[in-house]
């Protein structure tokens, strides 16, 4: 009577244990599958990252300026900015002081971060005013390829009294536009080409009505006027020409503004050619030019090369507005007597 339960119990226990064990093992979860967030357009750099990049750039500028060693610039400068800064440092070395080296503050009032997934990418930043209360600088930083760092590509001084267009918040990012983007009143490349023509030909330009009048045109115009008056005297019999062209191999940089327009930044090359009668000597009109000329003997011919940067606001297509200059820089980087 007692033997029977004893015989059956182990079997029952085994059955129960087996059932439970199966239930337990059956509930071991399958490994989850990746469930990433959906792709969404966003800034390629966070604000922290962008600030870090700008800090790096600023550190390189500082280090190069302190040691007057342009080779240090290559780590974080490229394109027109590298050329200009290198020239400025050489001028500073020749002149023995850094007065003519553009001051670029290390604090920023606005970051404009691209959203593009392709390269090159361009981010922008607007600095605060300088210690001398000069207008803020607009910086453009380029990442040419994924394995490159962001490098300072160019800068302009904002024109005084200008109203900057609004940009999307840095947490949303602003789209970089192609040079031939057709959503604008004028494509970025065309805007730069036409603006160069306006600078070259002045009021005779066919495109002058596309652009609002601005300080840079006035500056170049008045400078040319002065030079022409000086050279156009009977005993001098000189000539003065100015030609401004978009810098080769430096594609324009464009970024979408909040109103659907674009801010376009471009490098221009301005070349002044002055001649005078035989025997006359033409000295560079700028301190940079003098420093660049150095010990070379002035002749009756002078070719000043300027590396210019301009920032333009291009309204969206169909807008009843003109292209407007936001800022510029006009820095002599070469001089020649031939």
Partner 1 sequence: MLRKLLGTVLIVLGLVAAGLGVASATVWRQSDTVVATATPQGDGALVVTDPGVLELVDDSVTVRATVPGDGKVTLAVGRDVDVAGWVGDEPYTRVTGLSDWESLAVAAGEPSASPSPAEGQDAGAAAEPAKPSGDDPAGNDMWVAQASGDGTVTLRWGDQPGRWSLLAAGVGDGAQAPTVELTWPRTVTTPWLWPGVIAGVVLVLAGLAVLLVRRRRRGTPAVPDQADEVVPPSDGAQPGEASPGRAEDRTADRAADRTELLAAAADQAPAIPDAAEQRSVPFVGRRSRRASDPSTTAEPPTATPSATPSASVWPATTGASPWPARPGAAPPAGEGAQGDGTQGDATAAPETAAIEVPPVGASAAEPPATTGATPRLTRRELRALEEEARRGAARPITGRLRALTGQIPVVGRGQQAAADQPAAPGAAPATTRAGRAAAWRATWGFDGGAPRPATPQDAPQDGDDPAAGTQDSTEGGSR
Q: Applying CB under 8 A, does 234 fall inside the site for partner 1?
A: no
| Cα 128 off chain centre by | 16
Binding-site member from 78, 102, 122, 143 for partner 1 (CB under 8 A): 143
CA distance 327 to 156: 5
CA distance 120 to 124: 13
Helices vs strands, H then E, count in the chain: 6, 10
Residues of span 32-71 touching partner 1 by CB under 8 A: 32-37, 39-40, 42, 44-46, 49, 52-53, 56
With tokens 């590509």, the residue in question is 153
Closer of 41 and 281 to partner 1 (Cβ): 41
Q: Which bin fits 325, alpha (ψ -120 to 50), beta or left (φ > 0)?
A: beta
Residues of span 172-211 touching partner 1 by CB under 8 A: none
- Name the residue among 114, 113, 112, 115 with its Cα closest to residue 40: 115
Q: Applying CB under 8 A, does 24 fall inside the site for partner 1?
A: yes
Closer of 15 and 319 to partner 1 (Cβ): 15
Closest approach, Cβ 12 to partner 1, in A, equals 5
Binding-site member from 60, 69, 97, 117 for partner 1 (CB under 8 A): 117
- Name the residue among 306, 298, 336, 269 with its Cα closest to residue 87: 306
Q: Which bin fits 245, alpha (ψ -120 to 50), beta or left (φ > 0)?
A: beta
Helices (H), 253-331: 287-293
CA distance 172 to 168: 6
Closer of 176 and 329 to partner 1 (Cβ): 176
- Under rule CB under 8 A, how many of the chain's residues touch partner 1? 43
Stretch that binds partner 1, among 142-150, 192-200, 304-312, 318-326 (CB under 8 A): 142-150
Closest approach, Cβ 181 to partner 1, in A, equals 15
Q: Applying CB under 8 A, does 118 fall inside the site for partner 1?
A: yes
Site string for partner 1, 120-139 (x = CB under 8 A): x-------------------
CA distance 291 to 284: 9
Q: Applying CB under 8 A, does 16 fall inside the site for partner 1?
A: yes
Binding-site member from 17, 22, 166, 258 for partner 1 (CB under 8 A): 17
> Using an 8 Å Cβ cutoff, are 91 and 70 in contact?
no
Q: Applying CB under 8 A, does 279 fall inside the site for partner 1?
A: no
Q: Which residues in this chain contact partner 1 in the complex, by CB under 8 A? A: 1-2, 4-5, 8-9, 12-13, 16-17, 20-21, 23-24, 27, 31-37, 39-40, 42, 44-46, 49, 52-53, 56, 117-120, 143-147, 149-150
């Amino acid at each position: 009577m007692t033997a029977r339960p004893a015989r059956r119990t182990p079997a029952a226990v085994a059955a129960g244990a087996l059932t439970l064990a199966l239930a337990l093992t059956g509930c071991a979860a399958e490994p989850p599958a990746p469930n990433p967030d959906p792709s969404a357009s966003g800034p390629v750099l966070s604000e922290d990252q962008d600030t870090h990049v700008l800090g790096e750039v600023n550190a390189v500028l500082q280090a190069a300026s302190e040691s007057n060693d342009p080779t240090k610039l290559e780590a974080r400068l490229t394109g027109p900015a590298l050329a200009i800064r290198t020239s400025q440092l050489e001028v500073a070395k020749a002149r023995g002081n850094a007065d003519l080296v553009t001051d670029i503050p290390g604090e920023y009032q606005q970051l404009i971060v691209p959203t593009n997934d392709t390269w090159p990418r361009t981010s922008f930043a607007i600095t605060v005013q300088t210690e001398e209360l000069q207008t803020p600088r607009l910086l453009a930083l380029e990442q040419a390829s994924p394995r490159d760092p962001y490098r300072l590509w160019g800068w302009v001084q904002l024109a005084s009294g200008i109203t900057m267009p609004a940009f999307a918040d840095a947490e949303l990012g602003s789209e970089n536009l192609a040079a031939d983007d057709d959503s604008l009143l004028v494509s970025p490349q065309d805007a730069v080409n036409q603006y160069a023509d306006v600078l070259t030909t002045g009021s005779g330009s066919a495109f002058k009505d596309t652009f609002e009048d601005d300080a840079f045109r006035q500056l170049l115009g008045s400078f040319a006027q002065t030079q022409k008056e000086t050279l156009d005297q009977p005993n001098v019999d000189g000539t003065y020409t100015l030609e401004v062209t978009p810098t080769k191999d430096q594609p324009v940089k464009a970024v979408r503004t909040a109103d659907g327009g674009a801010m376009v930044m471009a490098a221009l090359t301005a070349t002044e050619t002055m001649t005078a009668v035989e025997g006359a000597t033409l000295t560079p009109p700028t301190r940079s030019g003098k420093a660049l000329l150095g010990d070379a003997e002035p002749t009756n011919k002078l070719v000043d090369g300027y590396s210019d940067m301009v920032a333009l606001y291009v309204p969206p297509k169909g807008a009843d507005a003109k292209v407007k200059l936001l800022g510029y820089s006009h820095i002599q980087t070469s001089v020649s007597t031939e």
